[in-house]
Structure 1
Amino acid sequence: MSLAPLVLVDGSSYLYRAFHALPPLTTSKGKPTGAVKGVLSMLKGLRRQYPDSLFAVVFDAKGGTFRDALFAEYKANRPSMPDDLRMQVEPLHASVRALGYPLLCVEGVEADDVIGTLARSSAAQGRPVVISTGDKDMAQLVDEHITLVNTMTGSVMDIAGVHEKFGVGPEHIIDFLALMGDKVDNIPGVPGVGEKTAVGLLTGIGGGLAEVYANLDQVAGLSIRGAKTLAAKLEEHRDAAFLSYELATIKIDVPLDIEVEALVCAEPDRDTLLELYNDLEFKSWVAEVQREAVKVGDVVAPAKAPAEKVEAKYETILDEARFEHWLERLNNASLFAFDTETTSLDAQQAQLVGLSFAIEPHEAAYVPLMHDYEGAPAQLDRDRVLLALKPLLENPAKGKIGQNAKYDINILANCAIGGDPAQGIEMRGVAYDTLLESYVLNSTATRHDMDSLALRYLEHTTITFEDIAGRGAKKLTFNQIPLETAGPYAAEDADITLRLHHALQALLAKTPSVQPVLMDIEMPLVPVLAKIERQGALVDAELLRVQSSELGQKMAALEKEAFELAGEAFNLGSPKQLGVILYDKLGMPILNKTSKGQASTAEAVLAELAEMQYPLPKVLMQYRTLSKLKSTYTDKLPEQINPRTGRVHTSYQQAVAATGRLSSSDPNLQNIPIRTAEGRRIRQAFIASPGYKLLAADYSQIELRIMAHLAKDEGLLHAFQNDLDVHRATAAEVFGVPLESVSNDQRRSAKAINFGLIYGMSSFGLARQIGVDRKQSQAYIDRYFTQYPGVLAYMERTRTQAAEQGFVETLFGRRLYLPDINAKNPALRKGAERTAINAPMQGTAADIIKRAMVTVDAWLSESGLDARVILQVHDELVLEVREDQVEQVAQQIRLHMSGAAQLDVPLLVEVGIGSNWDEAH
């Protein structure tokens, strides 16, 4: 009879990976809980996989280990644990213990050593061992009894897997690590020896580290890069290599006070779990514990048997009868989830491969249309299926749920039924988008993709695309994937979308203030953005190519100038070479260092050095600016012209910026600089079609106007209500001069103060910007607050409210959570306070432009005018309008945009018209 495996969990690895990889989560009081939720979810999932196994969760203990005694610099490069992670360690340990899982922390050694000892002693007794970790060092433990599993990726690594991943077997992993070192743990290794060289040495010599050093005379003859000089380098760093070997070796003889057989999971301590889960606000888990244990007085009733796991019913539809059955069900449903499978992530070029649907949880169907791999079964006629679905999908009364539904809307609009590009499906009735439900619920969460949401809200690990398509050069497109695996994957997408919607709606119901943000702003915007993306923008490719050539010439001249200033040629793109030139050769002061202790050559450092009148940093900054424009725009934009439309199509993301602002990608059209001649020339390449003009409508000083509304400051309200130049009015107040006597320099300084305070600028930052000393800039700020006391009161009120409730809100109810608002680290706390002050203004501005886009789109659709929105950038809309209708559109666009919100001050919209974007701006 075979023994059940011993499952050993690298708790410390879990902790960091959950913290960095999963969306952040906080309680209503701002307490961070995301790492706790992530680790516990993974542990529960792992336990369900191995219900009868011995089990232990192993964490690093506090304090140093024997490795610190061997090498004082061991792990010296690692940053200290972030405050919002440190705060989660104790509740995590308490939760693990309350779940009944054995938890081990042994002083003087690392978790790896405890795991290594338990694994090898168990394997020696013939018991299989499963180590759950993401740490590559653990590969040295793998043998015929010991395997590694990665809970986040679902991958399993045995002896063959170690060979495939590292190029050497488990018996040489320590040698491998000793040669190449480990930057994360600051294991020195041999400088210049990377993965390929380490593998080449070990396989070429045919042994481990000792054999390599015993045969240094053979190294020069190996087929590896730099072989001729490698032996000398190895000899020079012999001591470091053998020290690294010792540091990388996991101990397998740690004295332990517990026997393997004692690592048995106990019954959960439900009282403690309820207390912990309530404190951490894990409401679904509170309900789960309560269901499992009904309390009678002070006695806990025996736990109920765990609910049986619901078996998913997924179907791949290949015949007419089953398709008709599902079509009837969909037509009778009031709400269903849908998803498309395609050949590409680019919605303007992807080909539709199939569609999936779900009406009830745990039940879904996939309709394949274009799987064309060798041996693929016959599939339903593509056009017949799409024409049958068209009335349903275009019916606004039939509610649909999507995950990033904008992509699917564009795919269906471009599906070209019968080969006709104009014959697509105009999807209507998209009632919910789980990506946006999650985003509105917590915009500070970094991930709203389906895989992350399923793990977070459903405790379900999805089938990933890489699982079925592979990766790298051999990665398949969806049409090449066999239906045996493609079908369940596609059906699961629809099923999980439906189940996520149910889970997220339950959470949104508990926060009613954010529901209007979802239903009145974000959801109506989805089809509007999809339409803008499909429309695209016309660009003059030849003009961009000319500019690219000119930029290249300017860069060459700057490079030559940099070489002359440095006294030698060097790679301007190499921070290492640049550091040597700036600090070692030219002796410039080191103003800042990287996390690895190297002298920084970052943009901010170069700017400060340039201000100190060093000429080379200024040249380098100019070179970097031109290089970025060339590589990002003038070189790349012509390549991104869609061959089908002849236009550039950006993709807008609603769920990226925490404040609610839209972002764009592929290409990013929101970062083209407008203050430089080169940046404006790029905008000149965005042109109107013959017979049309570009019209740019831009909110003027919208965040300052929102500030005036929020602060209710009489001075600011008066300035905006009377259409005064607010910066000139501020200058008059701050500098104590009549309005008509304000100089341009005073106005410039007042503008810096107005915008600086919105973004939380310090007196030091303001001093640098306006060229005065810190004492003078602080005096300006103090005078500003004296003249505008409402602004100061707003800031203080906002800081207090944010600290108490852990979030701030826009005028329309959008929430921004602030995990660091009560952090013990002053820098983190101050940063959160600055965000708290700015976010309501920036977020309200984002809400207003989104509301305006929905209103403008509805007006344009009804007007019959030949005009369309082609771009949205920050507070600006760009339209392409037929020449004879420009004045009519300009008049209406002002009305619709200025009416997108009712504030205590008017919203001013400035409109420009031109043949290109620069002229119109």
Structure 2
Amino acid sequence: MTPAPDTAVLIDGHALAFRSYFALPPLTSKSGEPTHAILGFMRQLTRLMKQKSNQVIVVFDPPVKTFRHEQYDDYKAGRAQTPADLPAQINRIRAIVDAMGLPRLEVNGYEADDVIATLAKKAEAHGMSAVIVTSDRDSYQLLTEKVKVLTSDFKLLGPADVLAKYGVSVEQWVDYRSLTGDASDNIPGAKGIGPKTAAKLLQEHGSLDEVIARAQDGTLEPKGAREKILSSLENVYKSRDLSCMVIDLPLDIDMATHAGPGDPAALEALLGELDLGSVRRDIEALRGGSGAGAEAPEPEPQSLAREVPQAEWRTPAEGVMWGYVLSREDDLTATLLQAAAYDGSAVRSAPTEAPEGEGLFEEAKKERPGSVNEAEFVGQREVRAAGAKALATHLQVRGMNVEPGDDPLLLAYLLDPANTAMPAVAQRYLNAPWPADAAQRAALSAQLWELLLPQLDERRLELYHDIEKPLAKVLARMEVRGVKLDSAYLRGLSEAMAARIQTLEAEIHTHAGRVFSVSSRDQLEAVLYDELQLSSGRKTKLTGKRSTAVAALEPLRHEHPIIPALLEYRELSKLRGTYLDPMPNLVNPRTGRLHTTFAQTIAATGRLSSLNPNLQNIPIRSATGREIRKGFIADEGFTLLSADYSQIELRLLADISGDLLMQEAFQTGADIHRRTASQVLGVDEQHVSIEQRRAAKTVNFGVLYGMSAHRLSRDLGIPYAEASGFIERYFETYPGIRGYIDRTLAFGREHGYVETLYGRRRYVPELTSSNRNVREAGERLAYNMPIQGTAADIIKIAMIRLDQPLMDLGARMLLQVHDELLVEAPTKKADEVAELVKATMMGAATLSVPLNVEVGRGPNWFDTK
């Protein structure tokens, strides 16, 4: 069974058709019907469908005017006239998309951008990534770490790229467009304010509202900008209204379902009528057909082709090959045959089916007789690649005994944790695009290895050889091993949760006094603030609307009974959509286990991430969230062990800061939160109240994340002055912590980076920003990273040291989630395994304070706690 998709590819149909129309020379079918826009569109569409984990959705503008046209008659009046022969081609594209079984959406009154924006948010809510294919830069307001825009040259654009190119964050994008305008959509902006000035103003003042406020009170500099904004104020507000996308349309679509069967007969008729034989072959290849006997495909149009440099091929040394795979769905045989090239040249063609185990060698011999040495190929023990772990797991699940070897992506990540993917790395260090051809990718990987290795200093070389490279081998085994799920339990929990969600929805309607769409942001805003008159007049800077986010609703929990019901409704809906429904579908039918992917090069702190699903985000603070852990179960004859570092970040703070009072608390085994409350408030430990301990715990854990007095006041429900005084006395009690923060910030401003105890770096250019908000956010990142990053390094060391001893005992390391390891141990050896795990984790680092590890066991993950 094909796994549920993890990425929603959202295509702006009109934009891609328009781009395709001008990218190709005029083409017609034998009957004289124009087809070049159709051909270009379909080439891009099928290319995006090759990734089996993608859910492709095509969105078109409706044939009627949208609400923006109704508000502003001249909206998009400046756009170039649509070519006369394009609309008919777009209609043909619609018909082909439908015949292929792909979801196609058009919503009357709203632009394709609004539908895409809603789908992107919906995908994120389901734990998916989203890739937007559009030419409209307004989509930049949607960008997050999980939502990216695919550019015309197939590069993914994210928040960091927008900041680097335009000098503003994605949160400021609408404000930026409000000032600069957009001539293509007849969005006026502020006359005379260009991109550089707009970016500078937003960098200095944070938001458009603040810029306007400073202009109106006469303090905005320079004076010329102040006058231009004030004279264009109506147009600036108009531009903001036009630029804001709608993100909460009531769309009825299942994000976690692949394309349907479509209408093969209608599709065949359409492609035959349009003489698009190459498109037919592309679609057959997607569905596993051979396409044999068809005519040769048309050449790739130069305007859409990727310019790939012919990289020099470097013959692998010592029988170790360089290779690369896009994902686990890639054709393994094709990748290896293209990348191995043991005779010094790249194989560029391969069979379409990936054989199992050593059959791969036989397939290679048939493809290139005499080109592959059997001992080197079948006896291969280590593979070098950009993303070596992914390639090694490919081979391991097919019965081949290989492990991940050297990896230039890991080198790049250690040089700068912003290097998370090969396209950006190749562009940054070789000034070359990441090629589509596997053999050329292998060649570039080898060149990057030689280029990057000398750039690592001694400490980061040790990180590579002692932690990241050996960890990749451990993670590969964990991925292949997987974890057993009780799918029946999870489905039952989902059904129970669905019933509770339905009950909550009815309660919400009762409290509101009417029926409305609870998932509609605008309808909810009207109910809460206009009809129920709840206290919150604050409007969000981005949309100018009153917030309905959880952070805005939480302080209102005791103001009206609709709020607790609404918050529970949202929590349950998110849990059900993100975990309960998708996870059973991700279980491998052959192994009966869930095989998540651990990512080493995502988090800037060095922490591991996991994908498909993201197990790092399974909630543990709510009782309902913890229930999900009951679905992770031990295999027959085994038990689960959960080993968790206790308060590791606070212990590291005590060690790194050198604060003797905090160190003494941990050295004597004191309750750190009770001890902190006693020291800060000047009361005997035995008389510390529950509320006082809770306040101390909140500050202990919040200090590294820049907790403000305002936040502490809100979280604890205490007066601001009391919260402010508590934080002030906290730093007086633990002066070493204030000293650590000051030293770390000074080091970061001088060197441009901060680092862990093991030398892992994070660059923080925000520390010298002239924008106060950006600078303060950078400061919080800077003094948090050495603590969080060191904790990540320590648990990685523990995992490496545990790997072989656990296997020797017949135990299996299954998951790593933050500061916790989940191990599956033979029931008869559970005590021995527990002792081994605890001793190894506690001994992973030598600090001035002891590391403490709590180990629990049970038949499922929940019961280990």
* TM-score where L is the length of structure 2: 0.64
1:830 to 757, 776, 796: 776
1:458 to 426, 430, 437: 430
CA deviation profile, 1:214-237 (whole Å, cap 9, x unmatched): xxxxxxxxxx9869xxxxxxxxxx
State the AA in 1 paired with 2:552. Answer: V
Are 1:883 and 2:859 matched, yes or no? no
State the AA in 2 paired with 1:602. Answer: A
Are 1:593 and 2:540 matched, yes or no? yes
Question: How far did 1:837 drift?
Answer: 1.0
Contact (CA 8 Å) 1:180, 1:190: kept in 2 or not? Answer: no
Query: Given the superposition, is the C-alpha separation of residues 201 and 179 from structure 1 closer, same or farther in structure 2, using an over 3 Å criterion?
Result: farther
CA distance in 2, matches of 1:144, 1:710: 58
2:439 to 482, 488, 491: 491
Query: Given the superposition, is the C-alpha separation of residues 700 and 189 from structure 1 closer, same or farther in structure 2, using an over 3 Å criterion?
Result: farther
State the AA in 2 paired with 1:761. Answer: M
CA distance in 1, matches of 2:678, 2:751: 38
Are 1:500 and 2:474 matched, yes or no? no
Query: Given the superposition, is the C-alpha separation of residues 403 and 492 from structure 1 closer, same or farther in structure 2, using an over 3 Å criterion?
Result: same
Q: Which residue of 2 aligns with 1:480?
A: none
Q: Which residue of 2 aligns with 1:50?
A: none
Are 1:517 and 2:489 matched, yes or no? no
Query: CA-atom RMSD, angstroms?
Result: 4.2
State the AA in 2 paired with 1:411. Answer: H
> Larger deviation: 887-896 or 565-574?
565-574
Are 1:615 and 2:561 matched, yes or no? yes
Are 1:405 and 2:354 matched, yes or no? no
State the AA in 2 paired with 1:563. Answer: H
CA distance in 2, matches of 1:138, 1:643: 39
Secondary structure, aligned partner of 2:606: coil
Question: How far did 1:498 drift?
Answer: 0.7
Query: Given the superposition, is the C-alpha separation of residues 143 and 650 from structure 1 closer, same or farther in structure 2, using an over 3 Å criterion?
Result: closer
Larger Rg: 1
CA distance in 2, matches of 1:869, 1:494: 31
Contact (CA 8 Å) 1:390, 1:425: kept in 2 or not? Answer: no
Contact (CA 8 Å) 1:355, 1:368: kept in 2 or not? Answer: no
Question: How far did 1:622 drift?
Answer: 0.7
Are 1:579 and 2:551 matched, yes or no? no
Query: Given the superposition, is the C-alpha separation of residues 882 and 246 from structure 1 closer, same or farther in structure 2, using an over 3 Å criterion?
Result: closer
Secondary structure, aligned partner of 1:850: helix
Are 1:871 and 2:823 matched, yes or no? no
Query: Given the superposition, is the C-alpha separation of residues 853 and 379 from structure 1 closer, same or farther in structure 2, using an over 3 Å criterion?
Result: closer
CA distance in 1, matches of 2:744, 2:438: 46
Question: How far did 1:545 drift?
Answer: 1.4
Contact (CA 8 Å) 1:592, 1:605: kept in 2 or not? Answer: no
CA distance in 1, matches of 2:16, 2:736: 58
Contact (CA 8 Å) 2:341, 2:347: kept in 1 or not? Answer: no
Secondary structure, aligned partner of 1:751: helix
Secondary structure, aligned partner of 1:601: coil
CA distance in 2, matches of 1:798, 1:651: 34
Are 1:733 and 2:679 matched, yes or no? yes
Q: How does 1:287-302 map to 2 (within 5 A)?
A: none
Question: How far did 1:310 drift?
Answer: 8.1
1:906 to 850, 856, 859: 850
CA distance in 1, matches of 2:477, 2:186: 58
State the AA in 2 paired with 1:866. Answer: G
Secondary structure, aligned partner of 2:644: strand
Contact (CA 8 Å) 2:21, 2:86: kept in 1 or not? Answer: no
Question: How far did 1:886 drift?
Answer: 0.5
Are 1:548 and 2:522 matched, yes or no? no
Question: How far did 1:590 drift?
Answer: 2.8
Q: Which residue of 2 aligns with 1:706?
A: 652
Contact (CA 8 Å) 2:20, 2:40: kept in 1 or not? Answer: no
Query: Given the superposition, is the C-alpha separation of residues 745 and 665 from structure 1 closer, same or farther in structure 2, using an over 3 Å criterion?
Result: same
State the AA in 2 paired with 1:705. Answer: R
CA distance in 1, matches of 2:735, 2:768: 26
Query: Given the superposition, is the C-alpha separation of residues 767 and 359 from structure 1 closer, same or farther in structure 2, using an over 3 Å criterion?
Result: same
Q: How does 1:413-812 map to 2 (within 5 A)?
A: 413-415=396-398, 423-427=399-403, 430=405, 432-443=406-417, 445=418, 448-464=420-436, 489-508=437-456, 511-588=457-534, 589-593=536-540, 595-611=542-558, 613-812=559-758
Question: How far did 1:710 drift?
Answer: 0.6
State the AA in 2 paired with 1:852. Answer: A
Question: How far did 1:547 drift?
Answer: 0.8
State the AA in 1 paired with 2:693. Answer: R
CA deviation profile, 1:527-580 (whole Å, cap 9, x unmatched): 100101111111111111111111011100100011111222122112122222
Question: How far did 1:859 drift?
Answer: 2.2
Q: Tell me the percent identity.
A: 36
CA distance in 2, matches of 1:729, 1:824: 39
Query: Given the superposition, is the C-alpha separation of residues 180 and 533 from structure 1 closer, same or farther in structure 2, using an over 3 Å criterion?
Result: farther
CA distance in 2, matches of 1:357, 1:145: 30
Query: Given the superposition, is the C-alpha separation of residues 457 and 140 from structure 1 closer, same or farther in structure 2, using an over 3 Å criterion?
Result: closer
Q: Which residue of 1 aligns with 2:789?
A: 843
Question: How far did 1:600 drift?
Answer: 2.1
Gaps of 5+ in 1: 1-134, 148-157, 167-175, 207-223, 228-243, 252-308, 315-325, 416-422, 465-488
CA deviation profile, 1:487-531 (whole Å, cap 9, x unmatched): xx12112111111212222432xx433222222111110010010
CA deviation profile, 1:251-289 (whole Å, cap 9, x unmatched): 9xxxxxxxxxxxxxxxxxxxxxxxxxxxxxxxxxxxxxx
Contact (CA 8 Å) 1:413, 1:424: kept in 2 or not? Answer: yes
CA distance in 2, matches of 1:748, 1:367: 63
Contact (CA 8 Å) 1:313, 1:364: kept in 2 or not? Answer: no
Are 1:339 and 2:313 matched, yes or no? no
Query: Given the superposition, is the C-alpha separation of residues 865 and 587 from structure 1 closer, same or farther in structure 2, using an over 3 Å criterion?
Result: same
State the AA in 2 paired with 1:507. Answer: Q
Question: How far did 1:424 drift?
Answer: 2.2
Contact (CA 8 Å) 2:754, 2:762: kept in 1 or not? Answer: yes
State the AA in 2 paired with 1:912. Answer: G
1:916 to 832, 845, 860: 860
Number of residue-to-residue matches in the alignment: 610
Q: Which residue of 1 aligns with 2:166?
A: none
CA distance in 2, matches of 1:756, 1:533: 33
CA distance in 2, matches of 1:917, 1:602: 31
Contact (CA 8 Å) 2:643, 2:855: kept in 1 or not? Answer: yes
Query: Given the superposition, is the C-alpha separation of residues 249 and 885 from structure 1 closer, same or farther in structure 2, using an over 3 Å criterion?
Result: closer
Question: How far did 1:395 drift?
Answer: 5.7
Q: Which residue of 2 aligns with 1:220?
A: none
CA distance in 1, matches of 2:659, 2:187: 64
